[in-house]
A and B are shown apart, each in its own frame.
Chain A
């Protein structure tokens, strides 16, 4: 397999980079490490809080015998979690995904995602590596540009729901014959998936996974039921999804300390199990929004804004707008101060980096609390 850098219009060698910057370099470096069994720490360097957290860890935390990767979650959900993965985790995951492709054959993979997290590296990199087909990468895709690539038959597109929605909105007069789209775990409304299939004639396989668990399940087009992979055992405890599989991490770094992971691994997802390998996703147990592919903890954002002088309390509610590319908007209710958008944006940027979060501020509210102090609403 080879990596084609669409910006440079040239193939990139799979070699080691000391400081990979572009997507092509990130992928080349990751695949070099995978091919040569070299351990690699993977994280999004554009997030200041995450960078400083990793810099604060002792060197002994940042490696472990027999591991291939140490992925750091984005840090937008509180303290970042470091997730160790073995090479076998990646290999078995690629094999499980390839079985999902249902006999379709592909000449190449085109990916819109960066290689700073497990989805990009394992699905956008290791899968084509194991299939021995080329990967095409580009720093910034526009929907029109992705449509041109998808028109070429036998292309596997690794992308996000944002591009499916964007392609639905431009409704280009083309069909994507023998092309398959894989999207990450952010929800794609069934209506959008159906519209996409009807207009472009291509299927969207939505993958359900997390860094800790690896791939769990998938659904195709406007299906509502998720199908667990053969190697994944699903169960439920207190309405939350529990996973046992060879793809689950064995070790994580939580609050600066390594911890062994015990199976079954309990996720934050509220589900209804409807068969040995089938379940419906009903929601999330914690207050997590997903914006620009990153899980954002509303509790963390509340805490960041509460640090602004004069603010007594903040409550955040997530509002959905399925038609928008960024389909989750934060309603921020503020007690004790009158905040403007500029102040809030500056506060979030300082901690979370360049991600732009859509929000609306509601000032001069009285935050209501339960008898144990939990925020429950506003006046």
Chain B
């Protein structure tokens, strides 16, 4: 099982969030938009590449998978469902 802590570590490294610690990102913190972490569309592409490289999980359709990018929790749930 992938944990949110592992995912956050990979996101921090992959997105170059060099000043952040995993604990600063809440499990239910919004990753995109004006509130929360405030990532943008290029970061979304980077996250799909991180999921594929680090966890072997592909995201091939953004429309069908919009909700999985909401928070660390939703992303981890998706990863674990795909790996099950």
A residues sitting closer than 8 Å to B (CB atoms) are: 7, 140-145, 162-163, 166, 169-170, 292, 321, 324-326, 329, 340-342, 345, 349, 354-356, 358-361
Contact status B63-A7, CB under 8 Å:
yes
Q: Note all chain A residues with C-beta closer than 8 A to B19.
A: 340-341, 359-361
Task: Identify A144's interface contact among B20, B24, B46, B58, CB under 8 A.
Answer: B58
Contact status A358-B16, CB under 8 Å:
yes
Majority DSSP secondary structure for residues of B touching A? loop
CB contacts between A and B, total, < 8 Å:
76
Q: Note all chain B residues with C-beta closer than 8 A to A140.
A: 41, 44, 62
Q: Note all chain A residues with C-beta closer than 8 A to B18.
A: 329, 358-360
B34 at the binding interface (Cβ < 8 Å): yes
| Min CB–CB distance A319 → chain B (angstroms) | 10
Q: Note all chain A residues with C-beta closer than 8 A to B15.
A: 326, 358
CB<8 Å pairs between A and B, sample of 17? A142-B45, A144-B58, A162-B42, A166-B45, A170-B52, A292-B40, A292-B41, A292-B42, A325-B46, A341-B17, A349-B34, A355-B40, A358-B15, A358-B17, A359-B18, A359-B19, A361-B19
Q: Using a Cβ–Cβ cut-off of 8 Å, how many residues does chain B contribute to the interface with A?
A: 28
Q: Note all chain B residues with C-beta closer than 8 A to A141.
A: 62
Q: Note all chain A residues with C-beta closer than 8 A to B59.
A: 142, 144
Q: Which partner residue on chain B sits nearest A166 by CB separation?
A: B45
The 5 closest A-B pairs by CB, nearest first: A341-B19, A358-B16, A360-B18, A144-B60, A356-B40
Contact status B45-A162, CB under 8 Å:
yes
What's the Cα separation between A325 and B20 when bound, in Å?
Answer: 19
Given A169-B53, A170-B52, CB of A321 within 8 Å of CB of B16: yes
| Min CB–CB distance A166 → chain B (angstroms) | 5
B56 at the binding interface (Cβ < 8 Å): no
Q: Note all chain B residues with C-beta closer than 8 A to A144.
A: 48, 58-61
Q: Note all chain B residues with C-beta closer than 8 A to A145.
A: 60-62
What's the Cα separation between A102 and B52 when bound, in Å?
Answer: 36
